[in-house]
Amino acid sequence: MRTEHRSGDTIRHDPPTRSNGLRRIALMALLAVGLWAPRAFAQPASGTAAEQLDKPVRIIVAYGAGGASDSIARFVGEALSKRSGKPVVVENKAGADGNIAAEAAVRAPTDSHTLLVSGSSTHAANSTIYRKLPYDPEVDFTPLATMASTPFVLLVNPKRVQAANFKEFLSWARRDENKLSFASANVGGRISGELFRQRAGLNAVNIPYKNSGQAMTDLLGGQFDYYLCDMVTALPQIQAASVRALAISGAERAPSLPDVPTLAESGFPDFDVSSWIAIWSANASTAQPTAKLLARWIGEILGAPEGRSFLIAKGLLPTPVAPGYLLELQRRDTKLWGKIITDAGMRQP
């Protein structure tokens, strides 16, 4: 757990760092459930009658098609279908920062295997953003796995913003006559954008979008100045040279963009905002033995070389999958993100 101190608009985190803290939490959680060894992930399910699903699986995704959460849900869904021999249906229910999907999951029929793929919005940030939620992030869900995390990449359209690197962008952005706009398509992007705006001292307003694809379309069209975008949406456009990547919001450089510095490296010490993507079952609709089986299978799928390669190719960072780690993660970030949300004035009236 990090201790925070605020001086002016700077957040300082005492050691241990967030990334080191995550590693320690991850190691403890994985050792506790016996999942640390890579061979534990690679072992296939035994396929006995006691280890088979008796119903189709429904995966509700809290965001639109094509984004990071959707991509992982479909990868995992296909693998689960092969293992179980049962259909796996993926449904996208975007809106209200994931609340629509979370509510749909907890209201699912009690005789179904309904899962939710969401993340730090529904299970960390929203309890501060919204005064009342139609679900309880802990009581109504059983943690299955933390699947991946994604920092946000600061993008500009080079036709609109003539900046070859972050230093040039910051110099341009801080000019008195510049009134800037930036896009966000999810809670994590909004939080990273607001924190960057505060610490850089920019005169900028947020333009919210329902999904990252729409925001990217408008960035390409020159509708706003910059965009803190998830890696899955950003990578293809970066590789096509349609947009320019200037900085990463996470604590470490992204393996898929090794030449792009972090904001911490670029003059904003301890800047570290990343979203995580996870999967839960609804307590009311999925029995505990089935939840345990699904958790193990998902761990094996994402821990196998094919799973890790899939995540890395998408620009995502594979994360430990132990259910205990997920519960600790959502509790910690509820507190951490709650402070940033309150300071940024992001709470709903």
Tell me whether domains 4-150+275-344 and 152-248 share a fold.
yes
Predicted confidence at residue 25, as pLDDT, reads: 38
**pTM (predicted TM-score):** 0.76
Q: Three-state SS for 315? A: coil
Q: What is the DSSP string of 239-283?
A: HTTSSEEEEE-SSS--TT-TTSPBTTTTT-TT---EEEEEEEEET
Query: CA 269, CA 282: separation in Å to the nearest integer?
Result: 39
Predicted confidence at residue 17, as pLDDT, reads: 43
Sign of CA dihedral 124, 280, 152, 94: negative
- 8 A C-beta contact, residue 127 and residue 133: yes
Predicted confidence at residue 107, as pLDDT, reads: 94
Omega into 255 within 30° of 0, i.e. cis?
no
Ranges of the chain with pLDDT below 70: 1-51
Q: Where are the beta strands (DSSP E) in the chain?
A: 4-7, 10-13, 57-61, 88-92, 113-119, 141-156, 180-184, 204-208, 226-230, 244-248, 274-282, 317-318
**For the domain 152-248, what is the CATH superfamily, name and number?**
Periplasmic binding protein-like II (3.40.190.10)
Amino acid at 270: D
Rounded to the nearest 5 percent, the helix, strand and coil shares of the chain are: 40, 20, 35
Q: What is the DSSP string of 208-228?
A: E-SSHHHHHHHHHTT-SSEEE
Sketch the domain layout of the chain as residue ranges.
Answer: 4-150+275-344, 152-248
- 8 A C-beta contact, residue 83 and residue 56: no
The CATH number assigned to the domain with range 4-150+275-344 reads 3.40.190.150
Predicted confidence at residue 68, as pLDDT, reads: 83
Query: CA 30, CA 320: separation in Å to the nearest integer?
Result: 7
Decide the pairing of beta strands 88-92 and 113-119.
Answer: unpaired
